[in-house]
Amino acid sequence: MRSACMKRERVFALSQGMLSESDEREARAHLEGCESCRAMLEGYGRLDAVLEEWSPATEASPWFDARVRAAAAAVRPARSKRPVFGLSLDRWLATPALAALLIVSSVLIIRDFRLHSPATPPSAPSANLAAASAPPVRSQAGAQELNMYQNLPVLEDYDMLADFDVISELPRRNHKVAD
């Protein structure tokens, strides 16, 4: 069965003596019954024997390094594709693309927020300027809260004056109090 065979890396590790004793025993037991793995192991052994006997016939010429450098320079990319300030062209294009993406997504988020927010009632064309500049009131509770914030200095003094009995004994008259 081919799926039960050992991986190439494991056969190579066995041929080089890199397996632990228990792994080597398991691998040798598998090799006894598997012809394809045995052939792979023998191939690695033949390759090792050839590499051990091989020696270069000649030394590299003194100009070999210069020729390799010249060939590498000829393969070097054109001047226009060289990096500018350490960044390649695709990096230079990535920044404007990212900025455009950020702007478009911001516009879409703001537009979506405005579409899903509660609608404000349209103002009548004959409404006066003061009413048009005032913030829209959405409910009676909101109007009371807005009035309370506008009269905040009076409310701060109310807590102190609420328990002041002398004021409750004064007769009620409609007098305007000077500021």
What's 29-66 look like in SS3? HHHHHCHHHHHHHHHHHHHHHHHHHCCCCCCCCCCHHH
The set of residues, in sequence order, having a beta carbon less than 8 Å from that of 92 and lying 6+ positions away, is 84
Q: Which region among 53-67, 81-95, 160-174 has the lowest average model confidence (pLDDT)?
A: 160-174
Phi, psi angles (nearest 5°) of residue 151: -105, 30
Between CA 60 and CA 68 the distance in angstroms is: 12
Q: Measured between alpha carbons, how far is residue 129 from residues 77, 121, 134 in Å?
A: 68, 16, 9
pTM of the model: 0.33
Q: What is the pLDDT of residue 127?
A: 46
Per-residue model confidence as pLDDT tens digits over 39-69: 999 999 998 988 888 777 777 777 888 888 8
Per-residue model confidence as pLDDT tens digits over 114-141: 877 765 555 544 444 555 555 554 678 7
Q: Which region among 4-13, 29-38, 56-65, 166-175 has the lowest average model confidence (pLDDT)?
A: 166-175
Q: Residue 87's beta-bridge partner residues?
A: 84
Using DSSP, state whether 84 is helix, strand or coil: strand
Q: Domain residues of the chain, as ranges?
A: 8-53
Q: Residue 84's beta-bridge partner residues?
A: 87
The set of residues, in sequence order, having a beta carbon less than 8 Å from that of 27 and lying 6+ positions away, is 6, 10, 11, 14, 19
